[in-house]
Amino acid sequence: MSTAPDQQTPAAVPQERRPVVRPTRFSVNLLPEDAPDRNAFTITVEYLGSERYRVIRDEVCSLGADGMWSWGYQWSGGDREPVTDAERDDYHAGRDAWVASHQFDLETALHLAEQAAPHVRVMRTTAAQALADYLAEMEHTDCAD
């Protein structure tokens, strides 16, 4: 059995090198785990690399530092490609600013997600309203078996 020169055999891996384990997704939700439709109100904090995280809903809607949700960067030129150097510079500067305002360190990302959690809307119901409805229903449910 031969090993390609660029591959290391398990015995050649230094013993002090250990696998890196990193939590990469955090779920933030106002509703308890047993609440119906809980998943619909979930906000996710997701690791992007380089100690940066984003706060998202529905896999693509990002929370900004201003507390507003965004579907992504919208260039002033609309859907067309930038053509001139000035347009390309404008596009990239705007996109870089959007990215900077939608990526955070972990502490900030979790803080923003926790602040946003009560206000997440599904149809016309906020998570805070869904929680109040759930708690009222639990109060009136006879759980004595």
What is the enclosing helix (H) or strand (E) of 105?
A: none
Name the CA radius of gyration of the chain, rounded: 23
pLDDT tens digits for the chain (145 residues)?
A: 555 555 656 666 567 899 999 999 999 999 999 998 999 999 999 999 999 999 999 988 999 999 999 999 999 999 999 999 999 999 999 999 999 999 999 999 999 999 999 999 999 999 999 999 999 998 887 654 4
Q: Is the Cβ–Cβ distance between 110 and 28 less than 8 Å?
A: yes
| DSSP secondary structure code for residue 44 in this structure | E
Interatomic CA distance for residues 8 and 6, integer angstroms:
7
In this prediction the pTM is 0.80
Whether residue 30 contacts residue 128, with contact meaning beta carbons closer than 8 Å, is answered with: yes
Residue 24 tokens read as 């990469």
Q: Are 60 and 70 in contact (CB under 8 A)?
A: no
